[in-house]
Amino acid sequence: METTAYDDCWLRYEPVQSSARRSTYRTLCSHVFTSTAGPEFGVIRDELHTGLTGLLGREPHLWMHPPRSTDGFLAVGRRERMAVVRAGVDKHEIEALHAEGFIIRSVEWEGTDCLVITGATNAGMVYGTFHLLRLLATGEPIDELDIVEEPKNDTRTINHWDNPFRRSVERGYAGSSIFDWAQLPALRDRYRVYARMLAAVGINGIVLNNVNTQTPSRPGENPAIADMAGWQLLDSSQLPKVAALASVFRRYGIKIYLSVNFAAPVLMGELDTADPLADEVVQWWSETFDAVYDHVPDFGGVLVKADSEGQPGPHDYNRTHAAGANLLGRALAPHGGRVFWRAFVYGSHDDRAVQAYNTFAGLNGAFHENVTLQIKNGPIDFQPREPVSTLFGALSETNIACELQITQEYTGQGVHLCYLVPQWKEIFETDTHANGERTSVAELLAHGDQNGVAGVGNIGADPNWTGHYLAQANCYGFGRLVWNPDLEIESITEEWITQTFSDDPAVVETVASILHDSWPAVLDYMTGHLGLLHMMYNGNDVVENHYDPAPGEWPAYHGADDDGIGVDRTDYAEQYPEPLAEQYLSVDDCPTELLLFFHHLPWEYEYEGTTIIQRLYDNCTAGVETVRSMRDRWASLADDIDRKRHRHVAERLDEQLVEAKQWRDTLIAFFDEYADIPAQTQHSDESEP
């Protein structure tokens, strides 16, 4: 067993400071009566023991029957098994509850004040337990509770882009993979801790390996290892390892999924075709999944990147994506498994934005009922900001999931602070006008038990899990927002800060202000904040850089030329239903932050009292000023946050400031080169040592 050298993240369970609060909490939670019916109750009891010991400063008494002679107690269990739950929760409430929902309620039972946590399933009660602990950790009153909570999205997954045998993580900025395939099925305590962290924010699935299940080896890599690829996880030698991980995560309500390679029947050396309509291929997948389910009876299913960036797919056999996805869907259906089929395809059009819609909109209704189309939030690729994909409003008869990127591939990677919860909130709130009605992305996703949200994870083996300490907030915020997209950004932020650092109002306010300023700052200095994107370097490495400023490398993405800047995306805009198409196509009505995504405009085009070029200069400059102020605000917390964490973040912010200036200067020089209009901007660099 490894020693626990890693950070507790949002499960620190620091002692409650207010003595009044602590005393109420102690009255209701020092004695805990839990059911033992199922392995999840082991999780619940462990978590309550750890959490309450930390929060209340003494160990709780855990009972398997209602405690007597106490002033109050907490009860966790099913209604049919516990009289105390029946005293406060009606049968119909449980029947109406979502399978993963829970009720937390104050109940008087036999003259004693009790608090009950109940649900329709054990998983629901795991979520309920974490919810109650969060209330305590954030200092909320618990004496008159009546909470009924249900997830708004049915599938809430983290996609690990981990390359299993190399232990590397594609687009990972927090060290190597936490999953050690060489040692599995031997388990590490870290898996359990990770499962706790995810369950605490409502995640119910993880995909263990990279969507790129075939990746070329790199110079210097041991070929014996590098040649092993993610598709090999389907091999019978690897399934006990998958089963071992499932045994840990299952207790926390988290299902295991694998990314699979469409050509696996060929790659695994057994067939000479992967044609989805060939009988032997149908049989191969069916037998392969039978073997998976022998090892993991509740296996969630598969994620597939097909016909995309070199990965094989049904187009190799002149078949449609629907034929490919349905092949896997049918093979998984007898086991209750699911297919997440990615819509990330591009390449055959000058503007890559148009392709996903062109490929998939016509297949609406053609997918098997256990197939979900997993669509990146925007039409390009996890840029600092994009409009939402046109596919969201175009698939009324298809299960859909939105894929977001928690890891910061294009938003400063492991160095720049970029709090993404506001970006995701904006995506969820966007009105798609699907079917001619007001329908937000969140509403489309919440509709149907095969829909959901996936996030490309930002977790790695670094002691603090996320590389940049404050990037923990993105992992936390993803789970919370996906559980309920109606949550306010501010409340998610404050919860995270309180559980992570302190409930001191000055700390909460300062850290929140830094987090909330961070995405706009990145948009300012990395894009000029008028809808430009992909100003970053690609390079020739197997995994492109996507970090350093290099706006000259891909002019097609932002359309800079001697006349102006931006891309005329009429073809793409016309894929939206009205009134969205009209709005985006009109320079006057197009949202400012997407203006140059949709329009190519002259450098000196007059816009909101200034010119486009001057606005770009101003925004690039303002972004740096914001980072400087974020750094200074963080510095002011030196006495309020422990030295180790304070210093870690301070160093990152110093580095971010240096790089933000490079971004500003590179972009301004690039714009000037085309426009030949020198920047008239003032910045505070002179004051820097």
With CB under 6 A as the contact rule, the residue among 79, 156, 305, 569 that binds ligand GCU is 305
Regarding 40 and contact with ligand GCU (CB under 6 A), the answer is no
List the Cα angle 387/442/585 in 5-degree steps: 25
CA 190 to chain centre: 20
Q: Which of helix, strand or coil describes residue 295?
A: helix
Q: How far is the CB of 526 from ligand GCU (least distance, A)?
A: 16
With CB under 6 A as the contact rule, the residue among 170, 275, 307, 665 that binds ligand GCU is 170
Q: How far is CA 279 from CA 274, 317, 365, 371, in A?
A: 10, 14, 24, 20
When the beta carbons of 413 and 510 are compared against ligand GCU, the nearer one is 413
The pair of structure tokens assigned to 211 is: 């969507």
Residue 191 CB: number of other CB atoms within 10 A?
18
Side chain identity at residue 34, one-letter code: T
Q: How far is the CB of 161 from ligand GCU (least distance, A)?
A: 7
Closest CA to 26 of 54, 64, 65, 52: 52
When the beta carbons of 37 and 543 are compared against ligand GCU, the nearer one is 543
When the beta carbons of 33 and 357 are compared against ligand GCU, the nearer one is 357
Backbone angles phi, psi at 57, to 5 degrees: 75, 10
Residue 581 CB: number of other CB atoms within 10 A?
17
When the beta carbons of 210 and 398 are compared against ligand GCU, the nearer one is 210
| Number of separate helices (H) and strands (E) present in the chain | 23, 20
Whats the size of the chain, residue-wise? 689
Q: How far is the CB of 211 from ligand GCU (least distance, A)?
A: 5
Q: How far is CA 630 from CA 211, 419, 635, in A?
A: 35, 13, 9
When the beta carbons of 101 and 412 are compared against ligand GCU, the nearer one is 412
When the beta carbons of 189 and 309 are compared against ligand GCU, the nearer one is 309
CA distance 154 to 373: 14
Side chain identity at residue 675, one-letter code: A
Q: What is the arrangement of strands in the sheet containing 72-76, beginning at the earlier edge strand? A: 61-63, 31-34, 72-76, 112-118, 102-109, 146-149
List the Cα angle 458/411/626 in 5-degree steps: 120
When the beta carbons of 544 and 673 are compared against ligand GCU, the nearer one is 544
Query: Residues 636-655: x/- map of binding to ligand GCU (CB under 6 A)?
Result: --------------------
Q: How far is CA 466 from CA 274, 508, 585, in A?
A: 38, 21, 39
Q: How far is the CB of 229 from ligand GCU (least distance, A)?
A: 14
Q: How far is the CB of 87 from ligand GCU (least distance, A)?
A: 51
When the beta carbons of 305 and 631 are compared against ligand GCU, the nearer one is 305
Query: Residues 529-558: x/- map of binding to ligand GCU (CB under 6 A)?
Result: --------------xx--------------
When the beta carbons of 109 and 165 are compared against ligand GCU, the nearer one is 165
Provide the b/e sequence for 102-125 (b: ≥16 CB within 10 Å). bbbbbbebeebbbbbbbbbbbbbb
Provide the b/e sequence for 607-625 (b: ≥16 CB within 10 Å). beeebbbbbbbbbbbbbbb
Q: How far is the CB of 376 from ligand GCU (least distance, A)?
A: 7
Q: How far is the CB of 427 from ligand GCU (least distance, A)?
A: 16
Closest CA to 594 of 344, 352, 345, 379: 379
309 included as an active-site residue? yes
The pair of structure tokens assigned to 594 is: 């997407």
Question: What sign results for the dihedral spanned by CA atoms 42, 45, 48, 52?
Answer: negative
Regarding 160 and contact with ligand GCU (CB under 6 A), the answer is no
| Chain residues 197-216 in contact with ligand GCU, contact rule CB under 6 A | 211-212
Q: How far is the CB of 508 from ligand GCU (least distance, A)?
A: 35
Considering the candidates 162, 307, 381, 494, report the single residue annotated as catalytic.
Answer: 381
Q: How far is the CB of 323 from ligand GCU (least distance, A)?
A: 21
When the beta carbons of 305 and 385 are compared against ligand GCU, the nearer one is 305
| Chain residues 373-402 in contact with ligand GCU, contact rule CB under 6 A | 381
Q: Which of helix, strand or coil describes residue 363?
A: helix
When the beta carbons of 403 and 517 are compared against ligand GCU, the nearer one is 403
Q: How far is the CB of 655 from ligand GCU (least distance, A)?
A: 22
Query: Residues 318-347: x/- map of binding to ligand GCU (CB under 6 A)?
Result: --------------------------x---
**DSSP classification of residue 348:** S
When the beta carbons of 305 and 319 are compared against ligand GCU, the nearer one is 305
By CB under 6 A, how many residues form the interface with ligand GCU?
11
Q: How far is the CB of 309 from ligand GCU (least distance, A)?
A: 6
| Contacts of 19 by beta carbon, 8 Å cutoff, 6+ apart | none
Regarding 171 and contact with ligand GCU (CB under 6 A), the answer is yes
CA 6 to chain centre: 21
Q: Which of helix, strand or coil describes residue 453?
A: strand
Considering the candidates 309, 369, 574, 642, report the single residue annotated as catalytic.
Answer: 309
Considering the candidates 409, 462, 495, 625, report the single residue annotated as catalytic.
Answer: 409
Backbone angles phi, psi at 394, to 5 degrees: -110, 10
Q: How far is the CB of 546 from ligand GCU (least distance, A)?
A: 6
CA distance 340 to 374: 6
| Contacts of 677 by beta carbon, 8 Å cutoff, 6+ apart | 603, 604, 613
Task: Indicate which residues carry an active-site annotation.
Answer: 309, 381, 409
- What does the binding site for ligand GCU look like in residue numbers (CB under 6 A)? 170-171, 211-212, 305, 309, 344, 381, 409, 543-544
